[in-house]
Structure 1
Amino acid sequence: MFLTLLYLVIVIVIAFYLKRIVLGELRKEKNKQSFAYLYIGFAVAIVFVGLFVNQLTHVFIDLTDVFYRK
């Protein structure tokens, strides 16, 4: 459960970073470095969303296992 919350916080921080800093820089001047940061941020966010979903499914499996155990 802790890893699920940690991954969720990391995804929120990355989304905030992409919105505030990277997209702000892209509005000012469209240079290749800003686009690189944007793509790297999206790639990292996708990885952590995958990890978040994986941990969330493990949490639900553990919860249902507790209820169906005899």
Structure 2
Amino acid sequence: MLEYCMNDVLFKNFGIEKTDEIFKQASYLIECEFAKNALPLDVDESTFISTLVQALETLKVGILRLENLVL
């Protein structure tokens, strides 16, 4: 509900492009803080991914999209 209201207020004040940019920036910050505080960043990729999946399942977050994975 809060996200919808925030989106509506931002859209009315700044337009769709600026609103999208604000949400992208906020999303990036959330992802960085989640990684720093909840994930082991000094492990191999396989361990990291399995820990990430487990954390998302625990938090009941059902979306995991890997856009770029360089091994």
- TM exceeds 0.5? no
TM-score calculated relative to the size of structure 2? 0.38
| Greater percentage in helix | 1
Q: Whose RCO is larger (CA < 8 A, sep 6+)?
A: 1
